[in-house]
Structure 1
Amino acid sequence: MTVFDRVKKLANERKVSLAELTKALNMGENSIYKWKTQKPAIDKLQQVADYFNVTVDYLLGREEKEEEGFVTFFRANTSDLSDEKKQLLEEELMAFMEARRKFLDGKGK
């Protein structure tokens, strides 16, 4: 799996498009698509790793992503929930994860 493939997979898991990702990271419009044929700059790679809370080594395929503890903490049996309530739960968890990422980004400044 290439760097581009891993980034695309992470974006799909977060339900964010690559266009939204590049905009959120103030990158050029097609910069991540260029990673299909070009090596990314280390600073851009680090930005993407930080955004998804993974390591650069994961993006480079040197290690597998470990599941985050807080994600496991929120895991619940949803078999009795309607599809609408499952979607709402997923949206709330994604909002929490985004708020956590922003909080952690702020602590590093």
Structure 2
Amino acid sequence: MNPKQRVKELLLNPIDWEVRSIAALERKLDISNGTINKWDRVAPSYAYAQSVANYFGVSVDYLLGNADEKKPTQTEPTEKDLEDAFIGAEAYDGKPITDHDKEVIKALIKGYLDTKEG
């Protein structure tokens, strides 16, 4: 299956009801009009493939037809992953999130992941 076919397959179960076509996906991801339609003849650039894969939550290998598993290999979250999750999270429900609040939330997430069975 080529990348264009994979995109069409992924669009059958839309994440966003406004994105149900290749053209709508291209607009959403700021990809030039007609680019994905060429993916049955031309290999996509890595940047575009990564953008589409991220949008659908699949691996680039799946999108390119190199893997049958949709999800990328899961790795344990790192401290940096947790820090990155807080970028832009300055408030919740109109109330500010303090540095102390962030540390408490990170500890809860770590505790949950430590007890979660793989």
Given the two structures, how large is their TM-score scaled by the length of structure 2? Answer: 0.54
CA 54–30 in structure 1, closer or farther in 2 if over 3 Å, else same? same
Larger RCO (CA within 8 A; separation ≥ 6): 1
The amino acid of 2:6's aligned partner reads R
Give the whole-Å Cα distance in 2 for the aligned partners of 1:49 and 1:10.
10
Does 2:34 align with 1:13?
no
Once superposed, which parts of structure 1, at least 4 consecutive aligned residues long, lie more than 3 Å away?
106-109
Q: 1:41 aligns with which of 45, 51, 63?
A: 45
- Structure 1: where are the runs of 5+ without partners? 68-105
The amino acid of 1:64's aligned partner reads D
**2:69 alignment partner in structure 1:** 65
Q: State percent identity of aligned pairs.
A: 35
RMSD of equivalent CA atoms: 2.2
Given the two structures, how large is their TM-score scaled by the length of structure 1? Answer: 0.58
- Structure 2: where are the runs of 5+ without partners? 72-83, 88-118
User: What's the secondary structure of 2:12's corresponding residue?
Assistant: helix
Bigger share in helix: 1
Question: Across the two proteins, how many residue pairs are aligned to each other?
Answer: 71
